Structure 1
Amino acid sequence: MHDHHQLGPCGPGTVMMDIGTGAGALIIYTSPAEIGREIDISPVGGPRTHVAVRTRRLAGGEVNCAFFPRLAAGDYTIWHDATTPAATVTIAEGQVAEITYAEA
């Protein structure tokens, strides 16, 4: 859940969203201190999944974020640790939800 990875920055076009009927995507923006950390999320009452925070190089600069390219529409919990929820977010079909995560 809080594993850390040594991951280099990603450039434009290195990830792809798969959104549409029944599915959306999620971007969780973080501070540079979170690079390499895995952030867990789960649908309310469902199993967890996670991705690592990476630096993403964009035309306008760099952002640090965890990117979930396809999630079933619904409400999700973002987990601080194994037992502590950090935030909730609603994923709408065909849309990209964005949230800023601050480590407590």
Structure 2
Amino acid sequence: MGSAVLDIGGNTGALVVVTGPEWSGREIEISTKDQDPLARTRAAVRARHTGAGTRYTAVFPTLPAGPYVIWRTATEPAGTVVVAGASVTEIEWWQLP
């Protein structure tokens, strides 16, 4: 359980937000910096079992490259991240400003 299929290449990348186990089952929302902040994309945090142990992540498998706002609550941003095209960008929740 917990595998994900990513559709990246060209100007399309993916975002992985790493959290702690207390986030399991909760959703994380993002929006592009130039988009209406109410128009958001969300992904659920799931346990991802790897050879190195279990990681809790929200995976956004197909995103246009560019800057995104990660939302802590419905009205409070947690920070920003830039998604690169043709690659996977990973950020740890606890390192957001």
TM-score (norm 1): 0.83
Give 3-state SS (helix, strand or coil) of 2:54's partner. Answer: strand
Other-structure match for 1:78: 70
- CA distance in 2 between counterparts of 1:75 and 1:63 reads 25
Residue type of the partner of 2:24? Answer: I
Q: Deviating runs (4+, > 6 A) in structure 1?
A: none
Residue type of the partner of 1:36? Answer: G
Work out the number of aligned pairs and report it. 92
- Superposed CA deviations along residues 50-94 of structure 1, whole A, max 9, x for unmatched, are 010000011221100100111000000000111111010001101
- CA distance in 2 between counterparts of 1:25 and 1:35 reads 20
| Structure 1 vs Structure 2 CA RMSD | 1.4
Compare the two structures and name the one with the higher strand fraction. 2
- CA distance in 2 between counterparts of 1:53 and 1:87 reads 18
Other-structure match for 2:14: 25
1:52 to 44, 48, 52: 44
Other-structure match for 2:87: 95
Taking only the aligned residue pairs, the percentage that are identical comes to 43
TM-aligned CA deviation for residue 45 of structure 1: 2.7
- Superposed CA deviations along residues 10-51 of structure 1, whole A, max 9, x for unmatched, are 2xxx31110001110000000100001100000113221101
Any stretches of 5+ residues in structure 2 without a counterpart?
none
Any stretches of 5+ residues in structure 1 without a counterpart?
1-8
